[in-house]
Structure 1
Amino acid sequence: MSVDQQPRILVVDDDERARRTLNDILIADHYSVLTCADGATALKLVRENDLDTVLLDLVLPDINGIEVLRQIKKEKPRLPVIIISGYGTIRDAVSAAKAGAYDFLEKSGFDKNRLLLLVRRAIDQEKMAKEIALLKTEIFKKYHMVGVSPPMRKVFEFIENVGPQKANVIITGESGVGKELVARALHFRSPRKDKPFIKINCAAIPKELIESELFGYEKGAFTDAKTQKKGKLELADTGTLFLDEIGDMSLSAQAKLLHFIQDGVFERLGGTKTHKVDVRIVAATNKNLEEEIREYRFREDLFYRLNVVGIYIPPLRSRREDIPVLADYFLEILCEEHGTPKKTLTEDAMEFLKNQYWKGNCRELNNLIERAVIMVKQTKITAEDLIKMQELSQPIITSEPVSLRQARADFEREYMLNILAQHNWNLTEVAQVLKIDRAHLYRKLKRLKIEVR
């Protein structure tokens, strides 16, 4: 292991002999060591270095060791600090623990093996804490929302105000505007942020299966119920349940969901035992639920139970000042994800983006940028490049002679794949666009050998 790779430890002790002893023990065990004799220097070294652990004497000539510990934990909360002292008392140990010390080690009866064991454990804890923090940062970065327009500033304000609350939320807006991102942002801004975020897409699951997905089932509840299965509600306990496309939920499932929201309890399919869970519900839809209520397709009482607070996410075409910000953001993230050199958009490319209609909203913009990241080899992406990327998503027409039946089948399959992509594989939307029912759509997809995602 090179010196740069060795864990770095700071030893703070005004006793030169003790400092040298600790230094020698740690170096012999392949640690990189910094040493100092007072609190002020210790704090300076903590600020200037990436440390893995601190060994801190309780009694220092300038600043009390407990005070140094408090300052370290204030500036670097995850940095483990092991208190060492030749005059340790139970009171000192308690004070150190309260101030955030990892452990307390007495100089009297000094045990080298115990010291090294504590240091190893402290470093492992620090490493794990760093990995968790990095993971959380990456998750936040992935679901981060960007925008400078007044409508998006209202959305951010809504997230800040409503996120910490327990109230149920309904998010409305067209497909692709980022309703799921808002739902995740609400979760991450809530006290439940470290608990489960469970999503169920009500449009992607056949109506006859939605109840078993939501509430779970007992063994033998129906023909294929070979084992017991927990539903999404149980999996989301103490966290957030995101009901995407709530407008496509069957009326029978709506009734059971209403019962759960009112009483906080439910039963698995085929079961009699009552289950109680603590779940916050965030729902989303691209439908006009008030219109659905008038058409008797959505329960009014459920609507009011869910719509404690609601937010509408405006389409991208009504907030064009967000397009450059989103485009640059997508470009940065997608270059990282695909491992390609950093790319930029030229002025004419940005003007091209700002002048598009964006029927698919942010999702369509993201898809176009992703195609450019993959296909454009140079570091600057032009308007001409983007036009070519759009053409790539159009149906491909071959010049090779084929039978009329094969040509019709090829066109129909390509056309279907494009429609599915435009609507993010939302089968309810696709069926509406094609003016066919869902059962007919399923049969057509099977015939065209298109697997449903």
Structure 2
Amino acid sequence: MSAKILIIDDELKLLKLLGMILRQEGFEVFEASSARSGLNMLDVHDVDVILSDVRLPDGFGVDLVTQYKTKKPHSEVILMTAYGNIPDGVQAMKNGAYDYIVKGDDNEKIIPLVYKALEKVKENRKNIQEEKKQNISFENVIGSSQPIFMAKKLAEKVAQTDATVLLTGETGTGKEVFANAIHTASNRNKGNFVALNCSAFSKEILESELFGHKKGAFTGAVADKKGLVEEAHNGTLFLDEIGEMPLELQAKLLRVLESGEYIKMGDTKIQKSNFRLIAATNRDLKEEIQKGNFREDLYFRLNIFGIHLPPLRERKEDIPVLAQFFVDRFSKSMQLEKVNVAENYFEKLKNASWKGNIRELKNSVERSMILMENNQLNSDSLNLESSDNTNVLSMSTVEKQHIIKVLNYTKGNKAEAARFLDIGIATLYRKIEEFGLK
């Protein structure tokens, strides 16, 4: 069974021994002697299983589980400790660890445990593939206001062609939903819909993600890798935040758009791919061209058919139906039979500014449902920033109760709690220490 294993342990003898044993099993093994180097490796390698020591010189393994899972949500983490501790073990599992074992006592269990964890990884990946097959249609674009109606009409028309589409609009306006719906309505819907956020990677990693690489193309390239251009053959490639793409890669993207030809990193062989491109940006690309940050020829190639997605504040009549959609979705995931929503709940949502648009609305509804009492949602359930900041919860006692409730809901999973609270994980740890929530 071919799989990639990352071992993180500052005890170098054990690190090398485990590496040797796992390689003999046929696994591809990466080794790190600190939390920092391990986390850096997760930025480069697509790891299946992470074997991590609990006591590292720069981090506590139980808490690090959330960071490992944030970077590689579909990998499994096995924690190893020299000193068994039941509370730590329980917390590790709550944080998302697959298992927690004692060094020495459980050495003979490591290999079987890795195989079991890999079965779970396989199941995770299968579920992801099944989710990807459930393509989004224009029925998933919620709202009947004039701005969104016009955007949908344009998207439905261009979906029947192979034209390149440029979606513009603020962050959180639903550009990926539109892109997926265009793919589903097109004659390419039997092919893959693959998406990439151009702002999420360094130049080298972004090039590898797009075009793939050959083994040895750069430090850490230990095997050949398919790029998304190849994965999107006969399907659709969606590039979000296209305005963040480095100029050098813009030239390579332009070439593949014009000729269908590209070269993998570290290779000399020309590859071909037939894909449809949908790009999206929240930047003014004409302004970026003036600044020298974006190629004008690429802009004209992308903007064959442009669709602007309106911000939520320009389609306020859609807010109640969007909010109700999210209430229904979260009711199902939280296994709640009936949630009663007061009219003042919707009114307060309609009066908010929504700088983060639909994504911010979704997060606000989710937080309000975590904090609601007796399955009742009303204006008091919402913690929204108003223009005069009078609705912001600022008192430390209220903030403390808010954090406690969210941590209880996530069963102590700090990464999830930070997402619900809309703060960084480091900020959450600081608040936990500040309020004595050990």
TM-score (norm 2): 0.58
Q: Give the equivalent residue in structure 2 for 1:289.
A: 285
> Are the equivalent residues in 1 in contact too, given 2:363–2:420 (CA < 8 A)?
no
Task: Give the drift of 1:273.
Answer: 1.1
* CA distance 1:287–1:232, change in 2 (3 Å): same
2:383 partner SS: helix
* CA distance 1:301–1:221, change in 2 (3 Å): same
Q: Is 1:167 the equivalent of 2:163? A: yes
Measured on the aligned residues, the alpha-carbon RMSD in Å equals 3.5
Q: Give the equivalent residue in structure 1 for 2:348.
A: 352
1:219 partner SS: coil
Q: 2-side partners of 1:135 and 1:152: how far apart?
A: 26
Q: Give the equivalent residue in structure 2 for 1:384.
A: 380
Larger Rg: 1
Matches within 5 A, 1:298-447: 298-387=294-383, 397=396, 421=422
Q: Give the equivalent residue in structure 1 for 2:247.
A: 251
Matches within 5 A, 1:10-409: 140=136, 144-387=140-383, 397=396
> Are the equivalent residues in 1 in contact too, given 2:341–2:378 (CA < 8 A)?
yes
Residue by residue over 1:416-453, the C-alpha shift from the partner in whole angstroms, topping out at 9 and shown as x without a partner, is x799948xx9xxxxxxxxxxxxxxxxxx99x99xxxxx
* CA distance 1:146–1:419, change in 2 (3 Å): closer
Q: 1-side partners of 2:373 and 2:420: how far apart?
A: 28
Q: 2-side partners of 1:369 and 1:259: how far apart?
A: 44
Q: 1-side partners of 2:348 and 2:301: how far apart?
A: 43
Q: 1-side partners of 2:205 and 2:276: how far apart?
A: 22
* CA distance 1:139–1:234, change in 2 (3 Å): closer
Q: 1-side partners of 2:393 and 2:249: how far apart?
A: 38
> Are the equivalent residues in 2 in contact too, given 1:243–1:281 (CA < 8 A)?
yes
Q: AA paired with 1:242?
A: F
Q: 1-side partners of 2:285 and 2:174: how far apart?
A: 18
1:209 partner SS: helix
2:262 partner SS: strand
Task: Give the drift of 1:183.
Answer: 0.8
Runs of 4+ in 1 over 4 A off after TM superposition: 134-139, 388-399, 417-422
* CA distance 1:138–1:330, change in 2 (3 Å): farther
Q: 2-side partners of 1:142 and 1:259: how far apart?
A: 31
* CA distance 1:142–1:306, change in 2 (3 Å): closer
Segments of structure 1 that go 5 or more residues without pairing to the other structure are 1-133, 400-413, 426-443, 449-453
Q: Give the equivalent residue in structure 1 for 2:42.
A: none
Q: 2-side partners of 1:161 and 1:358: how far apart?
A: 29
Q: 1-side partners of 2:302 and 2:166: how far apart?
A: 6
* CA distance 1:319–1:217, change in 2 (3 Å): same
* CA distance 1:228–1:292, change in 2 (3 Å): same
Q: 2-side partners of 1:136 and 1:241: how far apart?
A: 13
Q: AA paired with 1:184?
A: N
How many residues of Structure 1 are paired with residues of Structure 2 in the alignment?
280
Task: Give the drift of 1:152.
Answer: 0.6
1:348 partner SS: helix
Q: 2-side partners of 1:333 and 1:138: how far apart?
A: 16
Deviates more, 1:364-373 or 1:242-251: 364-373
Residue by residue over 1:142-164, the C-alpha shift from the partner in whole angstroms, topping out at 9 and shown as x without a partner, is 98111111001001101211112
Q: 2-side partners of 1:168 and 1:307: how far apart?
A: 7
* CA distance 1:338–1:163, change in 2 (3 Å): farther
1:230 partner SS: coil
Q: 1-side partners of 2:373 and 2:137: how far apart?
A: 26
> Are the equivalent residues in 2 in contact too, given 1:179–1:313 (CA < 8 A)?
yes
2:190 partner SS: coil
> Are the equivalent residues in 2 in contact too, given 1:198–1:241 (CA < 8 A)?
yes
> Are the equivalent residues in 1 in contact too, given 2:168–2:308 (CA < 8 A)?
yes
Segments of structure 2 that go 5 or more residues without pairing to the other structure are 1-129, 399-414, 431-438
TM-score (norm 1): 0.56
